[in-house]
Amino acid sequence: MTKIGLEVHVHLNTLRTKLFCSCSACYVGKDPNTVTCPVCLGLPGAIPVLNEEALKKAIMVAVALNCKIAPKLLFTRKHYFYPDMAKNYQISQYDGPGSMAIAKDGIVNISGENVRIRRINIEEDPAKSVYPTGSMLNSNYTLLDYNRSGVGLLEIVTEPDITGAKEARIFMEKLRSILEHLNVCDCEMEGSMRADVNISVEGGERVEVKNVGSSKDVEDVIKYEIARQRAAITQGIKILRETRHWDNDRKVTIPIRLKESEEDYRYFPDPDLPPYEISDNYVKAIISEMPELPDNRAKRFVKQYEITEYDANVLVMEKALADFFEKSAKYYNNYKKLANLLINDYLRWLNDRNLKIADSKATPESIAKLMKMLDNEKITIKIVKQILPEIIDGKDPEEIVKERNLIAITDRSYIERIAREVIEQEKEAAKAAKNDPRVINYLIGKIMKKTSGKADPIYTREIVLQIINEL
């Protein structure tokens, strides 16, 4: 039996300022240690003041994850000494005696199974460690950039309900979609959503793998750790309760230290941050401002656009894709064909070129033009797939087709002449095609190649079947 739990750390990078000071929350690309102040550097006498917008976003996430929201906000000091924590403690929350998390006892449904949310904490991020001469394992020295120190974080902790690597990846992807729809986090930014992955197999202790940076890496970590732990137990090697690091280059985990216990952190209430009452009316006002969540959006897509439930769920998995679909749907109303193009071709080309949706220069109008040319039989589906990368680069589909003479060939007599030439050259294949439909596709492919993909595929199939029946 395998038990898996996730501690997901989410940057509140859509806030303008850090969690407890007025420094900008936008630190990416800034010179090291230039976005700091006495508060986020932990200088003596500096007093933190809560960014209330962070509390509102935390409550939105709690509602979206079906959590119970605490009646008051309490902060605690989590003590530990690492160079990336200038104060030697982190302002966080603790779900224990005399304290409470902002939210707890939630549920997220993935693929028909519930994953329970143990708690959600609001806390500050530490500084960023930089390893100039290698990785954290072999660099000669470490540099610290405190620009990130004090940026608001949400820590979302699951119960150990996840049983496999794929399920963990799907959970991460669904959580990301929720966060993007709530405008809590720009998940495209590097390091904006990281997970500590806790894994235990029967017969061993719990192992934590820290700071895993993507849903795909979470899946890879779990696969590796399950195999490693099972192999060790089979050989009689004891699995220790420890913290490990994911080496993304070698795709292995490496031990860092034995795991701390809660007592090691010496939690106690932060005296600089008094309790903050959270009334029912306050929560209701926040709920009234919440945008549409992914599950509700998918249901609306099925009803409004009459697409399949599967297509709707794929589209809303990335907010930017769902937004692009809806914008394109204003210009083109065959919504099923539009969804199919975006899911099966548009996304594939982006992934093949290692591009994000935000990197695409395609416009809703250009996608609509492309689909209308297909519907009007000006181009074939093969041409659509062929020129899509150029549209992603920002080119106009009508201009591409005109410049490269890609207009579809609908002249049946011309297509028949080419088809007869191909079948004459492929006599054995033509005979076999009478009993094997796959060979028909082979012959059609030859014709399409000879016409540079411009022959109308419907006419071509009809003509090939007619000729074969004459043989």
pTM for this prediction? 0.87
If one compares 465 and 235, the residue with the highest pLDDT of the two is 235
Res. 190: pLDDT tops 80 = no
Separation CA 471–CA 428 (nearest Å): 11
Separation CA 335–CA 308 (nearest Å): 10
* Alpha carbon distance, N-terminus to C-terminus of the chain: 62
- What are the pLDDT digits (tens) for 325-362? 999 999 999 999 999 999 999 999 999 998 989 999 99
Res. 167: pLDDT tops 90 = yes
Mean pLDDT of the region 219-223: 97
Q: How many residues does the chain have?
A: 471
Q: How confident is the model at residue 450 (pLDDT cuts 50, 70, 90)?
A: confident
Q: Which amino acid is at 424?
A: E
Separation CA 181–CA 185 (nearest Å): 9
Averaged pLDDT of the chain: 91
Q: How confident is the model at residue 410 (pLDDT cuts 50, 70, 90)?
A: confident
Separation CA 428–CA 306 (nearest Å): 45
pLDDT at 40: 92
* 34-38, 69-73, 256-260: segment of lowest average pLDDT: 256-260
Separation CA 28–CA 17 (nearest Å): 13
Res. 16: pLDDT tops 90 = yes
pLDDT at 107: 97
Spell out the long-range contacts of 290-293 with Cβ–Cβ below 8 A and sequence spacing 24 or more. Answer: 290/60, 290/63, 290/64, 290/182, 291/181, 291/182, 291/183, 292/181, 293/64, 293/178, 293/181, 293/182
Domains of the chain: residue spans and CATH:
2-285 (no CATH), 294-403 (no CATH), 412-470 (1.10.10)
